[in-house]
A and B are shown apart, each in its own frame.
Chain A
């Protein structure tokens, strides 16, 4: 029963081929240990191994999903933007509601997105679209706080400004990565 639960847990977390190899190893190890230590102690050792393995498999699975899955990267990027937008009402209270700070915030979003695996390789148009939605939300919130309502023309200007900032950030990140790759090759 315990053996089945361990196998099910490993299979639920690890990739099928890895899970099969791990479960096979645990069977083999338990059989080897049982000849010298007895069935009970062998089972206890293997159970502890499974529990520790689960943490490693869980962490590895999460990191791989983030690195391999475009959808996860998209969600990460969207959550980052959403977080930045959600904190917008705070900036005004802190005296950081002006255009300069808006540009600064976008630059920070660009840097954060650039650090998420794969997000940096998402198209600039997509990021601009994401930020344009953010700007539209900012506009609404600013209206709610009694600030000036932006006209449609301003929104387009903002989108263009965002596109330039996001593109700049992505280019800067790409240049930094290229320099690092070049220096490690030369070193």
Chain B
């Protein structure tokens, strides 16, 4: 199977799904990316990316019953698939290979 191309945002979403492990809900994924990257991203952008990743077979989702806080609406829990883990690993390797020998000023 050919290696799937990961976009910048897809890469971030996959990393968030891996980080959150069993708690990979849409809202948590969004918050994790916002907290770590300080990007202002919309809920719709997160869900469309999750849907695209699921179609590529890089993540799986299960539907769970809604709670009162969610107005009883269902929520989806996402988890990484073996292909997803492989795709992230390959993308990380590419980034490391391209970054080797380069120096960047860290902003604090």
Please give the residue numbers on chain A whose beta carbons come within 8 Å of chain B beta carbons, in ascending order.
10, 14-15, 17-18, 20-29, 31, 49-50, 52-57, 59-60, 181, 184-185
Contacts and interface: CB of A to CB of B under 8 A. Distances in A.
Contacts of B52: 60
Contact of B27 (A18, A28, A60, A184): A28
Given A25-B27, A28-B69, A56 B74 contact: no
A106 to B, nearest CB: 31
A50 B83 CA distance: 32
Contacts of A20: 73-74
Contact of B48 (A23, A25, A56): A56
Of all A-B residue pairs in the complex, the 5 with the closest CB atoms, nearest first, are: A53-B44, A24-B73, A52-B42, A24-B70, A60-B48
B26 A56 contact: no
A80 B76 CA distance: 40
A92 B61 CA distance: 57
Question: For chain A, what secondary structure do more than half of its interface residues adopt (helix, strand, loop), or is it mixed?
Answer: helix
Given A21-B75, A184-B3, A31 B69 contact: yes
Interface in B35-71: 42-45, 47-48, 51-52, 63, 66, 69-71
B2 interface: yes
Given A22-B26, A184-B2, A185-B2, A14 B71 contact: no
Nearest to A10: B44
29 contacts: A14-B44, A15-B51, A18-B47, A18-B48, A20-B73, A20-B74, A22-B43, A22-B44, A22-B47, A23-B71, A24-B70, A24-B71, A24-B73, A25-B26, A25-B30, A25-B43, A28-B70, A31-B69, A50-B43, A50-B44, A53-B43, A54-B44, A55-B42, A56-B45, A57-B44, A59-B48, A60-B51, A181-B2, A184-B2
